[in-house]
Structure 1
Amino acid sequence: MDNGTKEWWMAAKWSKEYERGINEYIKRAFSTKSEGNQICCPCGSCHYRYWCDEKVVRYHLVCNGFVPRADKLSELGMHFEREIPTLDADERLNQDDLDDDLVGLLHDARDAFREGPNDEAKKFFQLLEGGQEELYPGCKTHSKLSFMIRLLIIKCDHKLTNGAYADIADLVREAFPDAKLPKSFNEAKSALKVLGLNYTKIDACPNDCMLYWEENANATSCHVCDTPRWKSNDTENDTPLENGKIHRIPKKILRHFPIKRRLQRIFMCQETASYMTWHTSGRENDHLLQHPVDEKAWKEFDSLYPKFAEDPRNVRLGLATYGFSPFNSMSIAHSTWPVILINYNLPPWMIMKPEFLMLALLIPGPSSPGNDIDIYL
């Protein structure tokens, strides 16, 4: 299609224009970018990550919509200083690209640590040095940092246990004695805490009455129902720690995942930061409901808070929660409630991507908090 015409992927998916666009794209892509009988599927779900044949690509484009590459988005007014590293048929992302991208992301983030030589800043710059350090002498495909992150990604994608992660790391060290790897999963997590990949434990009343937090941090029982904070008040079961403190097991623990650092990382990265203003700068106003910005509630919010609405970078979050049982056995009555934050600043094809959904709270069971969930929120 000519660049001067309206882009076909912005048309309604049931329109003739969209159908013609799919036909032209598939014809061009399979004639120039295919490997065998497959191309990287450009739909909103695959997003150039999976190779599919023509029938599957066509089905995906009809159901999931089309996501243009970064160079095409830049023609629409969204400019990037460096290319988004998405997979395409004619340029697979090799390991050198991954290493460069990890270092680039860390360089983007380092401005947040320029306030002074505090401990957090020192840890961050040590992590940055790890991005330049070879995994072992002579290794050209991985840095110490990139290998550690790849191993963590594999663990998460395949749902490996902490023990499996440690066994894999031990095997790599046996094969490559000079490899600089963390000895355990917990050690790897600690190394990445400086990026905000951590959480805080907050004791809670088992009846969902209160949190042992701030002014109630040292309380030993609930102020509402008088339920003890600890599983056992018997001092014989106390476990002394090396620092002289006594460890007791609380009856219920809320896990809080801070979102401030995660939102900062979105703006620190040049690629994702530009998407955060898409609802103002990248959207075509065709009077169709394609994004929450087109909804009446969004416009009403803007009228109530005009100062907030002036800056398109201000983040608008939606909140969702639903209970589930973390156990395979359905005979166990247990309900854990994750609280998820949804970033409505992003384009519609990115809003529901798992990598952009932010876990804010994890409310443990065994029962649903019900109306008392506001205690945690």
Structure 2
Amino acid sequence: MDKSWIQLPRIDPHYAKGIKDFIEVAKAYVDDKNRTRCPCSKCKNIPHRTLPEVKGHLCQNGMDKMYTRWEWHGEGYDMANNNSSEEEVEEEEDGDEVNELLEDICMGPFVQIEMTDVQQGLDDALPNSNMGYDRFQDLLQDAQRELYPGCEKFSKLSFVLKLYNMKVTQKLSNKYFTMMLKLLNEAMPKGVELPKSHYEAKNMLRELSFGYEVIHACINDCILYLKEYENNELCPRWGESRYKSCEGKGKKIPQKILRYFPLKSRLQRLFMSRKISSDMRWHKEKRVKETNIFRHPADSMTWEEFDIRHPWFSAEPRNVRLGLASDGFNPFSNMSNSYSMWPVMVFPYNLPPWKCMKEPYLFMSLLIPGPRSPGKEIDVYLRPLIDELKELWVDGVMTYDASTMCTFRLHVALLWTINDFSAYGDLSGWVTKGYMACPVCNFDASSIRLEHGEKICWFCHRRWLPLDHKW
């Protein structure tokens, strides 16, 4: 069916005819209440509405211009096998990607590296610079060891990785995962090579840098017990104890814990898949440049200006440009409970637009604990991330590229932070309340306090308009 009418203005007669044709198609895909998904530009196939309501929405709001394949209204729908769903398709794609990643991780770095040279260059060639030679050998053996005698489809490492991927994507509990491992150990043939618990599986995968660091913090958000304060037991500012009071001889429990997910190893893992490694160069090699067309952050003036200022960085298209976002949320889904936890997310902009903001490529870097917002003290918690970003900018890190089967020095730059206005005040240090709340006007803000009340108003906004503007 011709769908060019979707791009036409709503007053065009061909657009009205297109709506009529669409309604005729949608009649075959209504539920028992005679409703179907509404594809207008506001609903975007989320709510179900009756056909007259859908027609009215399409006339008023227009068709969603991105909805060119009518998957919710019969196109590409297999009537012979209507049990398949988008979730199943995504699982199949995830499975293929896991297979490819396993192949690259297990075999890629060793194609061109002699085993006699591995011990010397291990820290540079492998994704986890803390991995010793013996542990590397164990991991390599797990990647090549049969799951059980005669098994040709899975190695020990590949099977455990697939199981763990299922655990994470399906949100299975640790206890359930341990029970499943015990059952698999009993059910599989003699000689099966599987961990016996979630703890053993987690320790095995930790060699692939799937862990995080636990950093103690002051209860008043003054310091992190890191570097020069690593051995302190009292806050140097207020004298608060590092640990909760405990009369017994048990393990000391810290007052507050920051969880830090190292960025270096996670960025290196992107290049250990041939497909993703190739996509990390998309912005330079495959992006179509058109004047006044903005499809990707690489089309922005900021990106271009950064390339001009730092030509050494832009000369290597695999160097990663990051965005950072943070905001508080209530983890208990209860708004009456005043608890605020702050995740700090980073995401690579090198990837094409249909990937760079997808869940697999969003990295949680910090998980700042509650129960209250860190406010302007958020810079205390950002210190580990900032230190690592400085190191990645200046020194970089040796990274293996599976698509070219060689190593290169990876550098990283943080281009943008994304947040709402209140979080902007915390991250930037600018006061977002009071007389000078506007970061654009800065000290030239035109603001006054109202006579009757405590509200502050801002005037003279029209000074930013061109002199010949009608306002």
Per the normalisation by structure 1, the TM-score is 0.69
Residue 182 of structure 1, aligned match among 195, 200, 209? 195
Q: Deviations over 1:306-334 (max 9, x none)?
A: 33223222211110112222225444332
Letter in 2 for 1:238: K
1:41 maps to none
* Corresponding residue to 2:138 among 104, 126, 151: 126
| CA displacement 1:250-295 (0-9 Å, x = unmatched) | 0001111111111112223322112112111110112210000111
SS across alignment from 1:311: coil
Which of 333, 351, 356 in structure 1 is aligned with 2:356? 351
Match of 1:198 among 194, 211, 217: 211
The 5 A counterparts of 1:297-312 are 297-312=302-317
Could you tell me whether the CA contact under 8 Å between 1:99 and 1:131 is conserved in 2? no
> What is the rounded CA distance, in whole Å, between the counterparts of 2:120 and 2:65 in structure 1?
47
Match of 2:168 in 1: 156
Q: 1:94 to 1:309 in 2, by over 3 A?
A: closer
| Alignment partner of 1:166 is 2:178 | yes
- 8 Å CA contact 1:103, 1:128 repeated in 2: no
Structure 2 letter corresponding to 1:317? L
Largest Rg, 1 or 2: 2
> What CA distance in whole angstroms lies between the structure 1 residues aligned with 2:263 and 2:239?
32
CA distance in 2, matches of 1:127, 1:64: 46
SS at match of 1:208: coil
Q: Which stretch shows the higher mean deviation, 117-126 or 156-165?
A: 117-126
Q: CA deviation at 1:107?
A: 2.0
- 2:422 corresponds to: none
Distance 1:273 1:14, change over 3 A: farther
From the superposition, tell whether residues 93 and 333 of structure 1 become closer, same or farther in structure 2 (CA, over 3 Å): closer
Please tell me the root mean square deviation across aligned C-alpha atoms, in Å.
3.2
Residue 137 (structure 1) aligned with residue 161 (structure 2): no
Q: Is the 8 A contact 2:341 2:371 kept in 1?
A: yes
Q: Which residue of 2 aligns with 1:336?
A: 341
Task: Give the CA deviation at 1:102.
Answer: 1.5
> Letter of the aligned partner of 2:266 in structure 1?
R
SS of the residue 2:144 aligns to: coil
Question: What letter corresponds to residue 380 of structure 2 in structure 1?
Answer: I
CA distance in 1, matches of 2:271, 2:100: 19
Structure 1 residue 363 corresponds to structure 2 residue 354? no
User: Hey, what's the Cα distance between the residues in 2 that align with 1:325 and 1:113?
Assistant: 47
Partner in structure 1 of residue 446 of structure 2: none
Q: Deviation at 1:63?
A: 4.3
Given that 2:7 and 2:65 are in contact with CA atoms closer than 8 Å, whether structure 1 keeps it comes out as no
Cα distance, 1:303 vs structure 2: 3.0
Q: Deviations over 1:1-56 (max 9, x none)?
A: xxxxxxxxxxxx9489xxxxxxxxxxxxxxxxxxxxxxxxxxxxxxxxxxxxxxxx
1:272 aligns with 2:296: no
Q: C-alpha separation between the residues in 2 aligned to 1:367 and 1:64? A: 46
AA matched with 2:240: T
Match of 1:237, SS state, is: coil
Displacement after TM superposition at 1:105 (Å): 2.7
Conservation of the 8 A alpha-carbon contact between 1:334 and 1:365: yes
**Matched position secondary structure for 2:313:** helix
Per the TM alignment, residue 169 of structure 1 is displaced from its structure 2 partner at its CA by: 0.8
Structure 1: segments with no counterpart, 5+ residues: 1-12, 17-58, 66-87, 240-246
Aligned positions, number: 291
- The verdict on how the C-alpha distance between 1:340 and 1:151 changes in structure 2, with shifts beyond 3 A counting, is same
Aligned-partner residue type, residue 355 of structure 2: M
Report deviation, 1:60.
Answer: 9.8
Deviates more, 1:92-101 or 1:358-367: 92-101
**Residues in 2 aligned to 1:131 and 1:60: alpha-carbon distance in whole angstroms:** 47
The code of the aligned residue for 2:138 comes to Q
CA contact (8 A) 2:106 2:140 kept: yes
Offset from partner CA, 1:324-359 (integer Å, 9 cap, x none): 222254443322111110101111111011111111
TM-aligned CA deviation for residue 204 of structure 1: 0.5
Q: 1:143 to 1:262 in 2, by over 3 A?
A: same
Q: Which among 158, 162, 183 is matched to residue 146 of structure 1? A: 158
Instruction: Tell me whether 1:257 sits opposite 2:257 in the alignment.
Output: no
Matched-pair contact (CA < 8 Å) for 2:104–2:274: no
Name the SS of the counterpart of 1:268 in structure 2. Answer: coil
Larger displacement relative to structure 2 (360-369 or 302-311): 302-311
Structure 2 residue runs of 5 or longer lacking an equivalent are 1-5, 10-62, 70-87, 124-130, 383-471
Amino acid at match of 2:265: R
Identical-pair percentage? 42
Would you say 1:283 and 2:295 are equivalent positions?
no
SS of the residue 1:263 aligns to: helix
Superposition deviation, residue 153 in structure 1: 1.0
Residues 115-150 of structure 1: CA distance to partner in whole angstroms, max 9, x if unpaired? 357852332332222222222223333221122111
Amino acid in the other structure paired with 1:196 = S
Deviations 1:147-192 (A, max 9, x none): 2111111111111111111011111122225422112222111111
List per-residue Cα deviations over 1:60-84 (Å, max 9, x = no partner): 992499xxxxxxxxxxxxxxxxxxx
Assess, with a 3 A threshold, how the Cα gap between structure 1 residues 117 and 298 changes in structure 2: closer, same or farther: closer
Is the Cα–Cα contact under 8 Å of residues 133 and 144 in structure 1 kept in the other structure? yes
Structure 2 equivalent of residue 215 of structure 1: 228
